[in-house]
Amino acid sequence: MKTAVFWGCRILTSQYAYELSVREVLPRLGVELVDLPEAVCCGDPVKSVNDFAATYLGVRVLALAGATGLTDLLVPCNRCHFVISEARKVVEKDERFRQKIVGLLKEEGLEYRSDVKVWHVIDLLHDHVGLDGVKGAVVKPLKGLKLASHVGCQLVRYSDLGRVDDAESPRKLDELVGALGVESVDYAEKLDCCGSALMYSHVDSALSLAGGKLKALQNLSVDGLVVSCPDCALIFDAKQKEAASTVGVKLNVPVVYYTQLLGLALGVGQEKLGLHLNQSTVDLLVSKVLC
Amino acid sequence: MAKPNRESREKILAKLRSRELVNCFQCIKCTSGCTALKLLELKPHEVEKLVNLGFVDELASSDIIWTCVTCLKCVQRCPQKASPYHVIMALRNLAVEREVKVPEAYMKAVSQVLESGLAEACQKVTTKKMKTFDRESLKLPKLASPKESFQAVFLKALEEREA
């Protein structure tokens, strides 16, 4: 499979570990990635300011993808995935809105594309490559690890848009984690939000949401947390120390992207997966499986 | 005492492009699952009620609409499709139009998009071992700027006002 890929802002500007690991592991599973001709925003922060302009940016991504001649688009960021999916739904439903947006796209020499399928890493691996495909590629099963998964809000809600997994009981990420030989634990706070969207306006509250969830996980004695969204990773991994201070405990929860975990199971070197860039104590997790 | 403003209420309904908000029957499913309730006292069912009663101006100038964490649970669970999340976003858009208190980070992100195409500038990251990396040293591809037409057309989109 050959797919266009839209990275969004956060991955390209700071969450380099996600980009490195996606670029490293997907081709090994038969997925060829083609970057879009522009690095642009999906419209996410614009939604709060001007919904029309945000929708324009979302639809514009589909147009850019269509212009590559490909009909599959990988969007590894949960927020981008949501914004683009909602933008598409809005223009499909609202004729007047669509005409306006098509007009603006024309001014840029772009064409509205309704035929581009939007994927996330999770459904691309689970539904396209398949659990057997993933299992078959594993050279180093990560036996003995017990991990919690955090799928992220915007990837599973809201169902009217057609999301990657069930809104109240998502399983795909757990199954993918399980395919690597890891035990994926269920926990009460599983669907709790990471809080990262509040970093725009209420930083302390954002950090205490993340801190609360990490504290609960630490009490469960898991070996780490698996995420698949750059915003969730930013707050759980890069901001873990700050989050700890809002909940009054010392936090030591290794946080990894699923693609990093998958890379380890595929026998890829740690630096190629960007594991040296994680700010949490990932060495604790890695040393349990690579010895 | 605050007085309801029907005109402002219609503005929100126009922004929502549907009138399902009026079907809210205060079941409070939204508030009982709201991520921002415990920490920031956001009560989405109250936002719904206040908009329906016409107290839109008060909400648009209140900090409460900026406490939503956009987890989308209220959209998912609302039996009436009266989605508090979308009502809150419409109120935020109205607040921007009226140039009342808007968290600076949002406006900064939008001007950054206008300027460069991305909402954030590329950062150097420092590892736990105090080594610094950027895209180049990680051998990640150079970022391609948006085409020349982007800035002017995005500006046009920003000037577009719904209703």
Which domain-ending residue is among B70, B97, B124? B97
Contact A224, A255 (CB under 8 A): yes
Q: Are B12 and B49 found together in one domain? A: yes
Query: Which one of 3.40.50.20, 3.30.365.10, 3.40.190.10, 3.40.50.11810 gives the CATH number of domain A140-289?
Result: 3.40.50.11810
Asked whether the predicted pLDDT for residue B127 surpasses 50, the reply is yes
CATH no., domain A2-119: 1.20.1050.140
Collect all residues of chain A within an 8 Å Cβ-Cβ radius of residue B18: none
Instruction: Kindly report, as residue ranges, where domains of CATH 3.40.50.11810 are found in chain A.
Output: 140-289
Tens of pLDDT along A66-112?
999 999 999 999 999 999 999 999 999 999 999 999 999 999 999 99
pLDDT band, residue A161 (cuts 50/70/90) = very high
B134 and B116 part of one domain: yes
| A260 phi, psi to nearest 5 deg | -70, -45
Give buried/exposed letters for A50-64 (b at 16+ CB in 10 A, else e): bbbbbbbbbbbbbbb
Check whether B86 has a pLDDT greater than 70: yes
pLDDT at B132 over 90: yes
pLDDT exceeds cutoff 80 at A65: yes
The one-character DSSP state at A281 is: -
Residue B39's CATH number:
1.10.1060.10
Predicted confidence at residue A290, as pLDDT, reads: 80
| Cβ separation A168–B118 shorter than 8 A | no
Specify the pLDDT at position B162: 53
Please check whether residues B60 and B116 belong to one and the same domain.
no
pLDDT for B163 equals: 44
**Long-range contact pairs involving A269-276 (C-beta distance under 8 Å, separation at least 24):** A272/A20, A272/A21, A272/A24, A273/A17, A273/A20, A273/A21, A273/A24, A273/A25, A274/A16, A274/A17, A274/A18, A274/A19, A274/A20, A274/A21, A274/B138, A275/A17, A276/B127, A276/B129, A276/B131
pLDDT value at residue A101: 96
Q: Is the pLDDT of residue A176 over 90?
A: yes
* Tens-place pLDDT, residues A225-273: 999 999 999 999 999 999 999 999 999 999 999 999 999 999 999 999 9
Inform me whether the C-beta atom of residue B39 falls under 8 Å from chain A C-beta atoms.
yes
Contact between chains at A39 and B113 (C-beta distance less than 8 A):
no
* Boundary (domain end) residue, out of B97, B130, B150: B97
**Rounded to whole angstroms, how far apart are CA atoms B133 and B153?**
34
B152 in a structural domain: yes
Q: Where in chain A is the domain with CATH 1.20.1050.140?
A: 2-119
pLDDT band at B161; cut points 50, 70, 90: low
pLDDT at A291: 66
Q: What is the mean pLDDT of residues B102-108?
A: 96
Measured between CA atoms, how close is B33 to chain A, in angstroms?
Answer: 10
CA distance A14 to A24: 17
- pTM for this one? 0.97
Percent with pLDDT over 90 in chain A: 99
Domain boundary among B79, B97, B115: B97
B153 and B123 both lie in a single domain = yes
Question: Which residues, 6 or more positions from B33, have their beta carbon under 8 angstroms from its beta carbon?
Answer: B73, B74, B77
Instruction: Find residue A223's DSSP bridge partners.
Output: none
B72 and B141 together in one domain: no
Task: Pick from A48, A56, A89, A155 the residue to mutate for testing the B interface (most B CBs within 10 Å).
Answer: A48
Place of tokens 């390209």: A12
**pLDDT tens-digit profile of A4-29?**
999 999 999 999 999 999 999 999 99
Whether B38 contacts chain A with CB within 8 A: no
What domain range includes position B108? 104-159
Number of domains in chain B: 2
Asked whether residue B70 falls in the same domain as residue B123, the answer is no
Does residue B1 lie in a domain region?
Answer: no
Chain A contact for B163, CB < 8 A? Answer: no
Same structural domain, B110 and B138 = yes
CB-CB contact of A31 with B141 (8 Å): no
| Any A CB within 8 A of B131 CB | yes
The answer to whether residue B19 neighbours chain A at the CB level (below 8 Å) is: no
**What residues of B are in contact with residue A52 (Cβ under 8 Å)?**
157, 160-162
pLDDT tens by residue, B54-82: 999 999 999 999 999 999 999 999 999 99
CA nearest neighbour of B59 among B47, B68, B67: B47
Residues B91 and B108 placed together within one structural domain of the fold = no
Per cent of chain B over pLDDT 90 is 91
Has residue B145 been placed in a domain?
yes
* C-alpha distance from residue B54 to each of A99, B44, B85 (Å): 31, 15, 18
User: Is B86 found in the same domain as B125?
Assistant: no
Residues of A in contact with B17 (CB under 8 A): 90, 94, 97
Residue B78 lies in a domain: yes
Q: Is B132 on the interface with A (CB under 8 A)?
A: no
- Is residue B15 located within the same domain as residue B93? yes
Does B149 lie at the interface with A, CB-CB under 8 angstroms? yes
